[in-house]
Amino acid sequence: MTDGDYDYLIKLLALGDSGVGKTTFLYRYTDRIFNPKFITTVGIDFREKRVVYNNTGPNGSPGKTFKVHLQLWDTAGQERFRSLTTAFFRDAMGFLLMFDLTSQQSFLNVRNWMSQLQANAYCENPDIVLIGNKADLSDQREVNERQAKDLADKYGIPYFETSAATGQNVEKTVDMLLDLIMKRMEQCVDKTQVSETVNGAASGKLDPVKPEEKKCAC
């Protein structure tokens, strides 16, 4: 797993209250099994997975496929690890913000996690998906879908209801996040290259004789 034969290294990070199912979710995603044992995450951990990503080309034409190496960081929700875990936020390119559908409290804390993210993630508005987990426990549900959707809309992020136990929506959720990140990568480079071009054009007017000396060719 540790060879460099991939096109992208994408680092995702799961966060949310302790016990909402982050570890189980990631385990489900990477190994496709439900591990019902409750093993408290000590501070931080990560799992890895290689996936193939299909990029849709311009105009939605079928694009290239890429090998993506996913590093999925798991964090402990407990307060005493907070300073350790939040330090890892800034290395992640996308976030799985999770609460437990059977715990109103974990849902209320989503706001706090959002502000932690805004403070510690690599930018002010990183790619995030909101996840209501344990959807299989419908008889114990404390958070309804409308509530959660409204909150997600408020933040402008997608919302999924998942179950690490049955696997419902687990892959779909990660795929969605991956999609958002891949789009952002393109936007980021094209945005900066456009501004480079603008600068280039401006200086080009001042000094039009030496086009060879522009940045690109150094």
Ligand X SMILES: Nc1nc2c(ncn2[C@@H]2O[C@H](COP(=O)(O)OP(=O)(O)O)[C@@H](O)[C@H]2O)c(=O)[nH]1
Interface ranges with ligand X (CB under 6 A): 18-24, 36, 38, 41, 77, 133-134, 136-137, 163-165
**What is the DSSP track for 54-79?**
EEE-GGG-EEEEEEEEEEEEEE--SG
| Residue 212 CA from chain centroid, whole number | 41
**Residue 62 touches which of Mg ion, Zn ion, ligand X, none (CB < 5 to 8 A by kind)?**
none
Scan residues 187-216 and list those touching Zn ion (CB under 5 A). 216
* Nearer CB in complex with ligand X: 18/30: 18
Residue 192: its H or E element? helix 170-206
Rank residues 124 and 139 by Cβ distance to other proteins and give the closer one.
Answer: 124
User: Of 11, 12, 8, which is closest to residue 53 (Cα–Cα)?
Assistant: 8
For Mg ion, the closer CB: 74 or 127? 74
* Contact predicate 74/45, CB 8 Å: yes
Per-residue tokens: 17: 């209250």
Q: Which of 21, 19, 5 is nearest to 134 (CA)?
A: 21
Task: Rank residues 13 and 148 by Cβ distance to other proteins and give the closer one.
Answer: 13
Which residue has the CB atom at the shortest distance from Zn ion? Answer: 216
**Shortest CB 14 distance to other proteins, Å:** 14
What residues line the site for other proteins (CB under 8 A)?
1-4, 6-9, 42-46, 48, 58-59, 69, 71, 80, 83-84, 87-88, 90-91, 93, 122-124, 184-186, 188-190, 192-193, 196-197, 200-201, 204, 211-212, 214-218
Q: What are phi and psi of 43, to 5 degrees?
A: 65, -85
Residues that bind Zn ion (CB under 5 A): 216
